[in-house]
């Protein structure tokens, strides 16, 4: 890289860090449930030596969250004081700035080999600028949540895989690094295992293609397969080594094979309303219904008036759902009695029920019947239309979660066009479209170069399984796709370098 390029890179990184520190200081956000839980895990590790999410004795051991992020918090707390979340946000600002650098290095690694050093430098700087100016990723530094650390480790994992794929001689060390980084990312957020699957899948498919292409040569097939097995072993062993301590701990403490954490964050013996979740999956398309019908379950009653039209196919079905809601909601008298006995009653709340809905096994079985009936009646809607709709709404969200102006753009009629918040939402949506369009343009550049097709395969395995998986669950939250924005930043850098390189004849 030229001296000018290095100076520009330092300036961009400085601006990226300043932007993230500003967000961490000026726009911090606390998520009551998850933030407190992570803080409890970290504090209990430091002061009681037990991995527990409880805030009082007896601090029972738990495995409802993987330990990566609580261990990170415990490390920060040990240096700057327990529950010093300002320090956590500052450290996360540094980490996310490093993620911008990793995205730029990815763009450099993915550049077509025939490009000149000048154009490659342009791709690096462009990707660095795009990643640095991406608020959809940066905003998480202001939260005490696992996303920022996940972005860093996940992007680092794919960068290690990219370096390994570029090394024709084997690159076992890079594959081992990829496996270790993927393991660490998975210990922070279990769904990060999808990233490691993309890396390993790319390696395996390229090895099969190489074996097929050279099948006429003596011993070529066996050499390709042996090389792939060695790489796969390095990747898998490093990944398993990272997960081993947590898996062994759970086997010893709970007598359970639990290498990650339960999908529904349930402890052994706890009832999980699978039928209710299956029914929610039969109609939910938008995150606006996640809070009232999932996260507030057990805290507030289920309200039939909040149920969207697509949740019921007939008046009779809506009546069945209303009857089920009534059966799981607390009775008015019980709720008020509970309020009075706890000594928390006041006149302002009046007769409003305070207890939440509780899904019983009997009601859960009825919800499962409803879900199965809806699947049988509308298989096309269930298995194609709903997941496709979820995928689109998740990606083309404003991704303004945990900001003071958090909202959705649609329908436009609910927006206040005189408010600055609406302008922020429009900016966020514009940036989502920028990443989408320039991401596709970058992929198109790679498609034009046969030597770069391996990166297209890697990107396909990065994006498709993640989008498909999260479009089939009952809580399709847009934040689950934010992990892909560092990669669109890399593609955008390649697209910008391609366009500007042609205009300036930078070869």
136 and 9 in one domain?
yes
The rounded distance, in Å, linking the Cα atoms of 151 and 147 is 6
19-32 tens-digit pLDDT: 999 999 999 998 77
The rounded distance, in Å, linking the Cα atoms of 28 and 25 is 6
pLDDT at position 350, please? 45
Domain with 35, as residue range(s), is: 3-260+422-504
CA dist list (Å): 473 to 30, 189, 244, 286, 394: 25, 16, 28, 12, 12
What's the predicted TM-score (pTM) here?
0.92
The rounded distance, in Å, linking the Cα atoms of 143 and 160 is 27
pLDDT at position 502, please? 66
279 and 235 in one domain?
no
pLDDT at position 354, please? 53
Q: Average pLDDT, stretch 166-178?
A: 84
Residue 386 resides in a domain: no
Residue 112 resides in a domain: yes
Q: What is the DSSP string of 198-250?
A: HHHHHHHHHHHHHHHHTTTSTTHHHHHHHHHHHHHHHHHHHHHHHHHHHHHHH
Residue 23 resides in a domain: yes
Enumerate the H helices of 133-171 as residue ranges. Answer: 135-138, 147-166
Residue 119 resides in a domain: yes
- Tokens describing residue 151: 């972005």
299 and 219 in one domain?
no
Burial class (CB in 10 A: 0-12, 13-18, 19+), 338: middle
Residue 399: is its pLDDT beyond 70?
yes
Higher pLDDT, 412 or 372: 372
The rounded distance, in Å, linking the Cα atoms of 474 and 253 is 30
Q: Average pLDDT, stretch 459-464?
A: 97
The rounded distance, in Å, linking the Cα atoms of 353 and 334 is 8
The rounded distance, in Å, linking the Cα atoms of 496 and 478 is 26
- 448-457, Cβ contacts within 8 angstroms, sequence gap of 24 or more: 449/112, 449/113, 449/114, 451/112, 451/113, 451/114, 452/110, 452/112, 452/113, 454/165, 454/202, 454/206, 455/110, 455/162, 457/202, 457/205, 457/206
120 and 168 in one domain?
yes
303 and 440 in one domain?
no
481 and 430 in one domain?
yes
214 and 138 in one domain?
yes
CB crowding 296-330: b at 16 or more within 10 Å, else e: ebeebbbebeebeeebbbeeeeeebbeebbeebbb
Residue 132: is its pLDDT beyond 80?
yes
- Tokens describing residue 154: 């996940």
Residue 439 resides in a domain: yes
Residue 417 resides in a domain: no
Report residue 84 CA to chain centroid gap: 25
Residue 104: is its pLDDT beyond 50?
yes
101 and 247 in one domain?
yes
CA dist list (Å): 68 to 73, 182, 267: 9, 12, 19
The rounded distance, in Å, linking the Cα atoms of 130 and 283 is 36
Lowest mean pLDDT: which of 263-272, 280-289, 433-442?
263-272
Dihedral sign of CA atoms 431, 436, 440, 443 in order: positive
The rounded distance, in Å, linking the Cα atoms of 218 and 193 is 37
228 and 198 in one domain?
yes
432 and 320 in one domain?
no
Q: Which regions of 43-88 does DSSP assign to beta strands (E)?
A: none
Higher pLDDT, 337 or 42: 42
pLDDT at position 356, please? 85
Total number of domains in the chain = 2
Residues near 161 by beta carbon (within 8 Å), at least 6 away in sequence: 174, 175, 178, 198, 199, 202, 203, 458
The dihedrals phi and psi of 297, each to the nearest 5 degrees, come to -65, 130
Contact 394, 478 (CB under 8 A): yes
Residue 267 resides in a domain: no
Q: Average pLDDT, stretch 305-323?
A: 95
pLDDT at position 100, please? 98
235-246 tens-digit pLDDT: 999 999 999 999
Residue 62: is its pLDDT beyond 80?
yes
88 and 161 in one domain?
yes
Residue closest to 303 by CA, chosen among 290, 292, 312, 295: 292
CB crowding 220-247: b at 16 or more within 10 Å, else e: ebeebeebbeebbebbeebbeebbeebe
The rounded distance, in Å, linking the Cα atoms of 459 and 146 is 23
116 and 24 in one domain?
yes
pLDDT at position 13, please? 98
Q: Average pLDDT, stretch 90-94?
A: 98
Residue 291 resides in a domain: yes
Q: Average pLDDT, stretch 273-285?
A: 96
- Tokens describing residue 26: 């000026």
């Amino acid at each position: 890289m030229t001296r000018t390029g290095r100076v520009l890179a330092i300036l961009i990184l400085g601006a990226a860090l300043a932007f993230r520190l500003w967000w961490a200081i000026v726009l911090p956000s606390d998520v009551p449930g998850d933030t407190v839980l992570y803080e409890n895990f970290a504090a209990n590790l430091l002061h009681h030596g037990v991995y527990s999410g409880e805030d009082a004795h007896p601090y029972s051991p738990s495995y409802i969250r993987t330990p990566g992020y609580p261990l990170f918090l415990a490390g920060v707390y040990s240096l700057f004081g327990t529950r010093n979340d300002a320090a956590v946000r500052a450290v996360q600002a540094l980490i996310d700035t490093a993620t911008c650098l990793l995205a730029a290095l990815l763009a450099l690694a993915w550049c077509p080999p025939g490009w000149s050093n000048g154009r490659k430098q342009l791709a690096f700087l462009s990707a660095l600028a795009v990643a640095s100016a991406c608020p959809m990723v940066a905003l998480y530094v202001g939260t005490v949540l696992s996303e920022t650390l996940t972005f860093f480790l996940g992007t680092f994992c794919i960068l290690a895989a990219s370096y390994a794929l570029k090394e024709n001689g084997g690159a076992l060390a890079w594959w081992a690094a990829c496996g270790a980084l993927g393991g660490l990312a998975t210990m922070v957020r279990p769904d990060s295992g999808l990233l490691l699957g993309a890396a390993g899948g790319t390696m395996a498919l390229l090895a099969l293609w190489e074996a097929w292409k050279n099948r006429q040569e003596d011993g070529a097939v066996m050499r390709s397969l042996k090389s792939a097995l060695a790489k796969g072993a390095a990747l898998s062993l490093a990944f398993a080594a990272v997960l081993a301590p947590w898996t062994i701990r759970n086997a010893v403490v709970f007598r359970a094979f639990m290498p990650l954490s339960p999908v529904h964050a349930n402890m052994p013996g706890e009832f999980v309303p699978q039928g209710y979740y299956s029914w929610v999956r039969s109609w939910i398309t938008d995150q606006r219904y996640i809070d009232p019908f999932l996260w507030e379950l057990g805290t507030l009653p289920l309200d039939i008036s909040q149920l969207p039209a697509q949740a019921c196919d007939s008046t009779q079905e809506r009546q069945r759902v209303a009857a089920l809601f009534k059966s799981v909601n607390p009775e008015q008298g019980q709720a008020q009695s509970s309020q009075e006995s706890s000594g928390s009653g006041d006149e302002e709340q009046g007769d409003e029920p305070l207890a939440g809905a509780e899904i019983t096994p009997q009601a859960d079985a009825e919800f499962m019947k409803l879900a199965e009936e809806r699947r049988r009646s509308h298989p096309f809607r269930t298995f194609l239309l709903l997941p496709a709709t979820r995928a689109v709404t998740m990606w083309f969200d404003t991704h303004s979660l945990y900001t003071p102006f958090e909202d959705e753009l649609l329908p436009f009629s609910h927006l206040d066009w005189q408010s600055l918040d609406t302008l922020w939402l429009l900016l966020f949506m514009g940036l989502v479209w920028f990443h989408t369009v320039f991401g596709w343009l970058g992929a198109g550049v790679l498609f034009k170069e046969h030597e770069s097709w391996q990166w297209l395969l890697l990107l396909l395995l990065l994006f498709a399984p993640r989008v498909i998986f999260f479009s089939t669950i009952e809580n399709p939250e847009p934040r689950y796709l934010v992990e892909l924005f560092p990669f669109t930043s890399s593609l955008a850098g390649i697209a910008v370098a391609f366009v500007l390189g042609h205009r300036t004849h930078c070869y």
